[in-house]
Amino acid sequence: MNTIVITIISLSVIGSLSGVILFLIAQKFKVFEDPRIDDVEGILPGANCGGCGFPGCRGFADACVKAESLDLMFCPVGGNDGMVKVAEALGRVAATKDPTVAVVRCAGSPDHRRRTNRYDSAMTCEIASGLYSGDTACSFGCLGLGDCTVVCTFDAIHMNPVTLLPEVDDAKCTSCGACVKACPKMIIELRKKNKKDRKIYVSCINMDKGASAKKACSVACIGCKACLKACEYDAITIENFLAYIDPVKCKLCRKCVEVCPTDSIQEINFPPRKKADVEVAVTETQANKTIMEGF
């Protein structure tokens, strides 16, 4: 009986003493953490995608609190609304950005781009592109092994089993840029998001001369400059036999799509054209094809 009493008393004394010591040490070495970091982290989407350039949402919240201004801070997942909330919590002004969306700039499906060899090594784009140019004659195009789909944390990009090309789900894409970084061929681009997810873009990044680009893929951009002449808004530039449409300058008039002789300019989510338009388009395209015979 006596032993039990002594044990209980001594343990209680040791316990309370340790408690007091620990309390004092905790007070002495307390690390002050700005409570606003927790607030900001609560506002952020919590996807930890790294699209902001910081290690996870906590890292971004920490950086936002410590930063002088929020001009260079942007969470692509939360978008402008999210950044406004973050700015309110911190009593600062948020920089707004036009929303963007990932766009795959290759249309070389097997119909358009003949497979010239078969790849049987490790099924990742990174390894394939390190070994050789790819299983078609186009050394710029999509390898179709889906590194971009693996890295997407939002389930927004999938391989189309028919075209063997990745397709972006605009509703789910947060433009975090993970796929852009994962693509060794640098095919994916973040472009300005338009109303009703409408898009006009050159779906090709082949920088070979027109003749060899066309030989490798029937929907390759051949740098013929037809779109350059057709564009009224000075949105198109051509470099290395490749056209590029500036997403900010582009007014979505679709004139370039009509004149493109290889159909490498894509128009997506537009209403069908009026019949008259289509006829004009066809004649113009034919006119261009005659011009193109020089290639």
Partner 1 sequence: MRTFPKGGVHPPGLKIASGSAISLLSLPEIACIHLSQHLGAPAQPVVAKGDAVKVGQLIAEVSGFVSANIHSPVSGIIQKIEPAPDASGYAKPAIFIEVSGDEWLESIDRTPVLAKPNGITGDEIIAKVKEMGIVGLGGATFPSHVKISVPKGKKADILIINGVECEPYLTSDHRLMLEKGEEILTGIQLLMRALGVERAVIGIERNKPDAIRHLAGLAAGYPGITVCALKVKYPQGGEKQLIKAITGREVPSLGLPIEVGAVVHNVGTAFAVYEAVLKNKPLFERVVTVTGKNLAHTANFQVRIGTPVIQLIDAVGGLPGNAAKVINGGPMMGKALPMLGVPVTKGTSGILIMSDQESARKQSMNCIRCSRCSSACPMGLEPYLLMSLGEAKRWEDMESEHTLDCMECGSCSYTCPSHRPLLDYIRIGKSNVNRIIRARK
DSSP state of 195: G
CA-closest candidate to residue 226, choices 206, 202, 208? 202
Segment lying near partner 1 (by CB under 8 A), choices 41-49, 131-139, 220-228, 257-265 = 131-139
- Between CA 19 and CA 277 the distance in angstroms is 83
Secondary structure string (H, E, C) spanning 14-63: HHHHHHHHHHHHHHHCCCCCCHHHHHHHHHCCCCCCCCCCCCHHHHHHHH
* Distance between CA atoms of residues 120 and 239, nearest Å: 34
What would the two tokens of residue 101 be? 């969306």
170 vs 208 by CB, closer to partner 1: 208
Q: Is 62 in the site for partner 1 (CB under 8 A)?
A: no
**Residue 188, helix vs strand vs coil:** strand
Does 139 help bind partner 1 (rule: CB under 8 A)?
Answer: yes
Q: Rg of the Cα trace of the chain?
A: 28
d(CA 124, CA 181): 14
Query: Given candidates 6, 13, 20, 122, which one binds partner 1 under the rule CB under 8 A?
Result: 122
Binding mask 188-217 for partner 1 (x = CB under 8 A): --------------------x---------
Q: Measured from the CB of residue 286, what is the shortest distance to partner 1 in angstroms?
A: 31
Judged by CB under 8 A, which of 80, 133, 149, 218 binds partner 1? 133
List 37, 39, 126, 225, residue binding partner 1 (CB under 8 A): 126
Q: Judged by CB under 8 A, does residue 117 bind partner 1? A: yes
Do the beta carbons of residue 51 and residue 60 sit within 8 Å?
Answer: no
Question: Site for partner 1 (CB under 8 A): which residue of 7, 121, 240, 286?
Answer: 121
**Rounded least distance, CB 207 to partner 1, Å:** 9
149: CB partners within 8 A, 6+ apart: 157, 158, 159, 166, 179
Query: Would you say 80 or 133 has its CB closer to partner 1?
Result: 133
* Among positions 116, 160, 240, 269, the unique one binding partner 1 when judged by CB under 8 A: 116
Residues touching partner 1, count (CB under 8 A): 16
Residue 137 touching partner 1 (CB under 8 A): yes
Binding site for partner 1 (CB under 8 A): 116-117, 120-122, 126-127, 130-135, 137, 139, 208
